[in-house]
Amino acid sequence: MVSLGIFSLISTLFLVLAVPTTAASSKLSADYYDQVCPKALPAIKRAVEAAVSKERRMGASLLRLHFHDCFVNGCDASILLDSTSAFDSEKEAGPNNNSARGFEVIDRIKLEVDKVCGRPVVSCADILAVAARDSVVVLGGPTWAVQLGRRDSTTASKTTANKDIPKPFMNISDLIKNFKKHGLDERDLVALSGGHTIGRDVINIPKARDTP
């Protein structure tokens, strides 16, 4: 699997990306739900464990889903919104269309969390953040304290998703510029790159045969 060092960098990366974008979410804390719904985080953990147990790849998909959400106007769950007459869904953007996955898992988690809390008190943005962390843990990485208290966006931007989410054909200079735009540096870029190996065993590449 990917090294613990890379996992630690990933946790730092998401802490940077999770900078609040609205006044309503300006005070994040790891214990945000301790009083209003102490059962929320354990419920998310159980659901993630079940999803990854059923399909190991889902852990990587949930981590990626959180990243693609955060790179478009902050970690606000806008990636979960379907298109309306007012905006085009980020799901339809090039980096996400027929690529981003795990939406049904987040839907199930939201239903379960609302059930154990007795009301819809936990935001989808926080569910995405915690699910990403729990995915890393269940796949063998370290844990970290997720800052909570985000508010869900009521709008989305396909245009911004197409512009801001890193593209696979970008060269290193373009990637560095892209990350710098979001307040991230080369160390964060390495973390994201390493994160793409999450949940995969290291492949043993056979030695080249000696030439005759």
Residue 36 identity: V
Binding residues for substrate: 166
pLDDT greater than 80 at residue 138? yes
Q: Which H helix or E strand runs over 179?
A: helix 172-181
Fold of 4-195: Peroxidase; domain 1 (1.10.520)
- Burial level of 50, CB count in 10 A (0-12/13-18/19+)? middle
pLDDT at 190: 85
> Residue 9's pLDDT band (boundaries 50, 70, 90)?
low
Write out pLDDT tens, residues 68-124. Answer: 999 999 999 999 999 999 999 999 999 999 999 999 999 999 999 999 999 999 999
Domain ranges of the chain: 4-195
> Residue 204's pLDDT band (boundaries 50, 70, 90)?
very low
User: Coil, helix or strand for 148?
Assistant: strand
Binding residues: 69, 72, 74, 76, 78, 90, 166, 196-197
pLDDT at 14: 56
47-64: average pLDDT: 94
pLDDT greater than 70 at residue 18? no
pLDDT greater than 80 at residue 2? no
pLDDT greater than 60 at residue 207? no
pLDDT at 8: 52
CA–CA gap between residue 212 and residue 194 (Å, rounded)? 37
Enter the pTM of the model. 0.83
123-141: average pLDDT: 94
User: Any residues with CB less than 8 A from the CB of 190 and at least 6 apart, and which?
Assistant: 6, 9
Radius of gyration of the chain (CA): 18
Enumerate the active-site residues: 68
Write out pLDDT tens, residues 148-203. Answer: 999 999 999 999 999 999 988 899 999 999 999 888 899 888 888 877 777 654 33
Among 23-37, 42-56, 122-136, the minimum mean pLDDT is found in: 23-37
pLDDT at 159: 97
Longest dimension (CA), the chain: 72
1-15: average pLDDT: 50
Binding residues for Ca(2+): 69, 72, 74, 76, 78, 90, 197
pLDDT at 20: 43
Contact between 41 and 178 under an 8 Å Cβ cutoff? The reply is no
Contact between 89 and 161 under an 8 Å Cβ cutoff? The reply is no
pLDDT at 203: 37
